[in-house]
Amino acid sequence: MELILAFPVLCFSVLLLQWLRRVLNARSRLPLPPGPRGYPLIGNLLDIPKVMPWKAFGEWSKVYGDVLYLNIPTQPVLVLNSAQAVLDLLEKRSEIYSDRPPVVMDELIGLEWNFVVMGYTQKWRTHRREFHHYFHQRRIIEYHPIILQECRSFLRRALEDPAQLASHLRLTYASTILKITYDMDVDINSDYLYLVEKALECISPTRVPGAFWVEFLPFLKHVPSWVPGAYFKRHAERGKPLIKRMRDDAFDGVKARMAAGKARASIASDLIERLSGGKSLKVEDEELARNITGIAYAGKSVSMTVIRLILNVFSISLAAVDTTTYSAKAFLLGVSLYPEVKRKAQAELDRVVGPNRLPDFSDYDNLIYIQAIALESIRWMIIFPLGVSHRLICDDEYRGFFIPKGTTVIPNLWSILHNSEDYPEPMQFNPDRFIKNGRLDPDVRNPLTFTFGFGRRICPGRWLSSASIFMTIASVLHTMDVHAPTLDSESIDLFAVKTEGILMNLADIPFTLTARSKAAGKLIGDSALFS
C-alpha cells in the first residue's frame, strides 16, 4: 500500500530532480566524477550491491578511479576509495564536508537528540563540546580504574562460564560506560539493558534498506498513522516511548540520588551540577544533559547494533562508530587463526608485567606488541566498512571534477584499510606490520586515522574505546589462552562469512578461554578482592 501511494509521486520527483541535476551540472562547466553509466531515470539505483558493497566499490575503483560517483535518484553519492581522497576532502575540507544526511525516521521515532545524527549546526557544536569535555584524551585517565575493574570482572566471568563469552564481552563494555556515565551497576539481566534492547529492536527496522518510503518522500511524514500504508508512522509511535526511556531512565535515577544526597561521582551528576550552578536546571540545560549522557551509552549502542542506511539513497547517518566489542572479537579471531601472535604477545607480557600481577595502564608504553595487536584488530575486520557518511554543504571541485551541493560522501574504509601498498597481505592478521626496531613504526598508516571518523565529525569517544581495547587484549593474553579448535587460517573464508548487508558481523565462533596456569587463575580470582 505504501508503494502504491508513493510510486506516482516518486516517478515525477525523479524526473524533475534528474532534469534539474542535468541543468545544474551543465552550468558547472566541469564534469562529474566518473562512475557506472546507470539507467535512464533511475541512474545507478540497480547497480548498488546489497551484499558487501564495499568490495564492489573497491573493484569499481580499478575501472573508474578512487573517486567514484553514483547517480542515485534524489541523492548524488560520492564514494572515496583511497586514503588520499578521504584526507583531501573529509579532513582538509571538513568545513564543508561535515554535514549529515537527514533521516526522517529519526525525527518520527524520537532519536533526533543523538548529536551524531544532527546536521552541522550550532546545536551540534554545543552537544559536541559538552561531550568532548568528558571524553577527551586527558580525561580518560580518570576512567582507567573503572576500565580495569570491568576488564578483570570479564576475566572472572569468562573463566567461570566460558560458554557465554560474547555476552561477557558485551556486558563488560556496557558496564564500563554506564558506570562512568551514571554510576550504574548492571548485570546481564539488568532492567535497563533490557529496555535498551527493546528500544533497539524498534530502531533496527528503520535501517533496513528501502524499508520506509518516507525516506524517499519526506512529506509522507505528515500522513496520519491510520491511513492504509502508513506503517512507518505506527512503527514510530510504538518505538518513541521506549527510545525516550532509553535516554531518560538512567538520568532520572541520578537526579533522584542527588536529591536524596546519595549520588556518587558520574558524568551525569557533574553535568547537572555544572550546568545548574547550584540552582535549578533550566529546561534547555537539562535537555542538553540528558542528551549528552544518553549518547554516551544508548547512542553508542545504536551505532553498534544497527546501520542507519537507506541503501537506495545511501544516506548513512551513524553515530561515530564504537568498535570496542567488535574489535575484541576480531582480536580473539586473529590470535586463534595465528597462534604465533599469541606467543609473541605473552612473551612480552611475561617480560614487562611478570607473573605476580595483572597488567595496568602504567605498562602501556612498554607493551608495544599489545598496542600493535590493538591496531591490527581495528584494521583487519572493521565493523562498518563504509564508515560514516558526510554531506557536502556547498558545490565543490576536486581534481577537475564538479561535486554538487548535497552529495552524500562515503569513505570506503575497507578499501583503505586493506590496501596492499599500505598493508602488504592485508587479509593476514599481522601486528608486526606496525613495528620497526622495537617501536611502533610512524611510517605505517595508522588505522585509527580512519576508523573513528574524520575532521570535525571524528568520534569524540575514541580515546575511551582505544583504552578499553588495549586493556582487554593485555588482560586476556596475560592470564589466558584463547582456543577455537575448529578454525584455521586456510579453511576460513573471511570475505564469505561474517557479513550482513553493509555490516561486518563476525560469526559466533566457539572461542574458549582457559587460564594459562594455576598462578594466572589465582591472579584472576584474587582480582575480585580489589574490585
Q: Which residue numbers belong to the known binding site for heme? A: 459
Q: Which of 264, 78, 280 is CA-nearest to residue 184?
A: 264
Q: Which of 464, 457, 388, 463 is CA-nearest to residue 178?
A: 464
Beta bridge partners of 398: 401
Q: CB–CB of 481/499 below 8 Å?
A: no
* Binding-site residue set: 459
Q: What DSSP string describes 355-374?
A: TTS---GGGGGG-HHHHHHH
Distance, CA of 429 to CA of 185 (rounded, Å)? 35
SS3 of residue 217 by DSSP: coil
Distance, CA of 58 to CA of 68 (rounded, Å)? 10
Distance, CA of 472 to CA of 301 (rounded, Å)? 19
Distances (CA, A) of 391 to 76, 125, 269: 10, 16, 35
The CA-to-CA distance between both ends of the chain, in Å, stands at: 57
- 408-411 and 75-80 beta bridge pairing: parallel
Task: Tell me the helix, strand and coil percentages in the chain, rounded to 5.
Answer: 55, 10, 35
- What are the residues whose beta carbons fall under 8 Å from the beta carbon of 267, sequence distance 6 or more? 134, 180, 181, 182, 292, 293, 296
Distances (CA, A) of 48 to 38, 79, 131, 206, 313: 10, 12, 36, 19, 10
Q: Which of 148, 149, 153, 162 is CA-nearest to residue 515?
A: 162
Q: Which of 296, 299, 271, 295 is CA-nearest to residue 285?
A: 271
Q: What DSSP string describes 246-294?
A: HHHHHHHHHHHHHHTT-PPS-HHHHHHHHHHTTSPPPHHHHHHHHHHHH
* Cα 493–chain centre separation: 24
Q: Which residue has the cell 573464508?
A: 493
